[in-house]
Structure 1
């Protein structure tokens, strides 16, 4: 948003299945910009409420984020809005890159063995990978990069399927369904770079089911005092599964990234409480 404002952009547009719409609406309001957001009807209600509270032009779509994306593309073509969709501009990856920089800095430049990230469109993983590559290029870190591990829901796992099949691109996931709204991205635009990041770092991709994610939400809340979003809790579920199958060792240093608050997912929290006690 800051860069768009520097460039004189007055109207931006993007589709969202989760928190991105609220974030853009918030910063757009602060920057005096009009933000056009398209969101699936069954996205968490608070995400839509947030967008409206910040004055965004919100359109609810009967479908998935891919359908919302098509609507935004039509608006961009017709009205000339700045397209802030995934990988339609370079600045979001630069922002996501700070994830990798902060991990390195906060761990005293001693990198972890693995980083597990919940993946929808793929921008987060790509940003972390870019940060680590640049840190290595300037000599601030050395040795092997952390293994980048992608976790998705079994109800929508196009990246995992492509990785398992040795493909360079992900095929569209039909019938996508998961209560982790940010993971319900059936046609991730960052698929090719995400798969490259996984393979370049010797990482892997894994899918976990919604019941297991709900259990991980409950475990995090009860043992760590963290009310994680289902997307973030999926990383803990993935870590447990990877440890069990031997992909993570007992002494491995692993960073799990939680991308949101469970407070935005009251139905998911109720599910976690009911099934994860």
Structure 2
């Protein structure tokens, strides 16, 4: 609608809007969608939002699809931000909240990215889509591709939880299981996509999943009456949500909705797959591939993320930090959230609470700070983790 061009997050090279692109033509790094924000702000206002639909498409002016006819939606976004006083009381925290992305279509935050990515694919005439995924992205891609009438090809590790595999098959996707990690799945997509005629919608390897994910930041600010929380705790695999929120805060400030305050962002990873944690602690700008990656939290089993440099920059600029937790701590965190607040969160959500306990204990997060945990999916998809 107000999309003007794409710009490389690494080298700054500009690319035209309306052209089907994956990565920067100059350096092969992720592309960001850029908007005419003064034009957007003329109709997208705090007042106008009060009467709009409860979905992420309420932020239509800062989303990339040109024609409304090409929007592919299942009602994503508008997820609740729960106050969790009983859980917070266990840590002596005055204001702890959980943003529950498990209430999206396909039961995860991946619906946000796929609604915009598939809508743009439809608008740009894509006929076949492919994605490597540890689970939730595959399910979301299959669902939105089915809704759009686009053929979907999904590549997942062979040990992906059964619920994700069934979800993709039921929604008509061509499912291929790979003996390996998501990086191996990505390599298979890269090897075959040109010959097969697939458009690759891998994390941050096309510009538009990020645009759906950034609405996490818009919603968070709106739900807190345009105040920014002190702390955000985010489970990090590919990192699109973290990067997207950082972009959203910049856009909202440019439109005059918020000031310069940013939440302190804490990235949470699994002890068995912690490339961002390791790179942060070593002071690196990029994260080397994590060896022998393993964790029950399939969304966190990403040994190498193309957007690592953006994540690390955002964490440092926000004066946040990192934390890696064990699978046992994640499962215990899921159970603790369930028994205090009645929410069955994904292991990734449990990981965030486990990290919070440690970060409060060591003084990295103060008990009086308003803190938001992001739960990225429903625990019902991970039943194997709780046997």
Q: TM-score range by the shorter chain?
A: over 0.9
Give the match for residue 129 of structure 2: 12
Q: How does 1:25-174 map to 2 (within 5 A)?
A: 25-174=142-291
Q: How far does residue 77 in structure 1 lie from its aligned partner after superposition?
A: 2.3
Give the match for residue 318 of structure 2: 201
Query: 1:217–1:233: 8 Å Cα contact kept in structure 2?
Result: yes
> How many Å separate the matches in 1 of 2:254 and 2:315?
19
Query: 2:228–2:261: 8 Å Cα contact kept in structure 1?
Result: no
What is the TM-score of this pair, normalised by structure 1?
0.96
Question: Which has the greater radius of gyration?
Answer: 2
Deviations 1:123-160, CA, capped at 9 Å, x for gaps: 11000110011111221111420011100010000000
Q: Count matched residues.
A: 270
Provide structure 1 residue ranges, at least 5 long, that are not aligned to the other structure. 271-277
Q: How far does residue 92 in structure 1 lie from its aligned partner after superposition?
A: 0.5
Query: 1:217–1:269: 8 Å Cα contact kept in structure 2?
Result: no
Structure with more helix by fraction: 1
Given candidates 117, 120, 134, the residue that maps to 1:3 is 120
Deviations 1:183-229, CA, capped at 9 Å, x for gaps: 00011121111111111111111101111111101101100101000
Report the 3-state secondary structure (helix = DSSP H, G, I; strand = E; otherwise coil) of the residue aligned with 1:36: strand
> How many Å separate the matches in 1 of 2:260 and 2:191?
46
Runs of 4+ aligned structure 1 residues displaced above 4 Å come to none
Give the match for residue 227 of structure 1: 344
Report the 3-state secondary structure (helix = DSSP H, G, I; strand = E; otherwise coil) of the residue aligned with 2:234: strand
> How many Å separate the matches in 1 of 2:276 and 2:236?
8
Q: How does 1:210-249 map to 2 (within 5 A)?
A: 210-249=327-366
Deviations 1:50-75, CA, capped at 9 Å, x for gaps: 11000101100000000000011112
Query: 1:22–1:47: 8 Å Cα contact kept in structure 2?
Result: yes
Across the aligned residues of Structure 1 and Structure 2, the Cα RMSD in angstroms comes to: 0.8
> How many Å separate the matches in 2 of 1:193 and 1:245?
26
Deviations 1:18-54, CA, capped at 9 Å, x for gaps: 2000000001001000011100001111101111000
Give the match for residue 372 of structure 2: 255
Give the match for residue 275 of structure 1: none
Query: 2:230–2:369: 8 Å Cα contact kept in structure 1?
Result: yes
What is the TM-score of this pair, normalised by structure 2?
0.69
